[in-house]
Amino acid sequence: MAIQVTEKAIAAIQAAAAKRQTPPKGLRVGIRGGGCTGFSYLFEWSDAEARPEDRVLSFEDGRVNVFVDPKSFAFLDGSTLDFASTLMASGFRWLNPNVKSTCGCGESVQF
């Protein structure tokens, strides 16, 4: 399996990266401990090249790169990264079949 990234998410990554003074090397996504139910998703810019152990998802002829560390990949494998805009909020969201439950805040997941 693999991680999929929607066209909307790719466009949102490009738009956000273009607003930075220094273009990032990629967007690092992953899972970290914490939150109401045990884990939360990580989204942060990487100004360094991918680490040797990272999985690199490359789009738009290498202009958009997503870095995933091996431990996070185990939790995200089979997922889709999307970007959604509603009247209430907009942002990245994971469609992750590995999640057993989420908390009311929507920021925390359990595997």
pLDDT tens per residue across span 15-66: 999 999 999 999 999 998 876 777 888 999 999 999 999 999 999 888 899 9
The model carries a pTM of 0.86
State which amino acid sits at residue 51: R
Position 98 scores a pLDDT of: 83
pLDDT at residue 100 is higher than 80: no
Q: Where are the alpha helices (DSSP H) in the chain?
A: 7-18, 70-76
Q: What is the CATH number of the domain that holds 43?
A: 2.60.300.12
Q: How many distinct structural domains can be found in the chain?
A: 1
Position 105 scores a pLDDT of: 62
What string of DSSP letters covers 19-34? TSSS--SEEEEEEEE-
Position 106 scores a pLDDT of: 60
**Averaged pLDDT score across all residues of the chain:** 89
53 lies in which domain range? 4-110
